[in-house]
Amino acid sequence: ARGTGEPPGIGRVGQGFLDALAPRLGERTIDTFAVDYPASFDFLTAAEGADEAAAQIVAVASRCQKTKLVLGGYSQGAALVDMLANVAPLGGTIGEIGSAPALAVPFADKITAAAVFGNPAARFGTPLSTTGLFAGRAIDLCNANDPICSPTGLNPAAHDGYESPPQNEEAAGFVAGLLG
């Protein structure tokens, strides 16, 4: 799921992650699904994306039971993945933001791996890597000084560059390891 303000599609971080992952998977077939949601500065609309992503996961997992599913998201797209994992993307004290229903457990168990970049939940002490339905199957990458994902981050420019090494390569290595 793309980040705030990015045009429809998988986003630049999603593309960088896919480009780093594909060579690690040999002859396997990769397909992507770009979550269709506003990705606007109205953060409440991320719940719409979580609902759409959940519907797509259920459809694919039901139709293609041997398919391994990987989720990815950058910034607001990471918050969308948090919602699927039953993690409040902006902490438990910020109203109803992130109240989209989590992915139902039988389908959450179909998620092999998740990679999120610049995840707002990490700022509030609930990184996807250790919290929620995908804990242990997720990597949560945050640049030093990124104010979106780091509680001490003060540099807005640090919220950039996740589509490039080393972040995209680290995520690809983690995910490839789980895909086996």
Positions annotated as catalytic residues are 75, 146, 159
11 with 162: CB under 8 angstroms?
no
Tokens of 142: 């945050």
**CA atoms of 5 and 77, how far apart (whole Å):** 11
Do 143 and 116 contact (CB within 8 A), yes or no? no
> CA 163, CA 18: separation in Å to the nearest integer?
9
Q: Do 14 and 72 contact (CB within 8 A), yes or no?
A: yes
- Taking a C-beta distance cutoff of 8 angstroms, is the pair 51, 100 a contact? yes
Kindly state the tokens that stand for 25. 């998977």
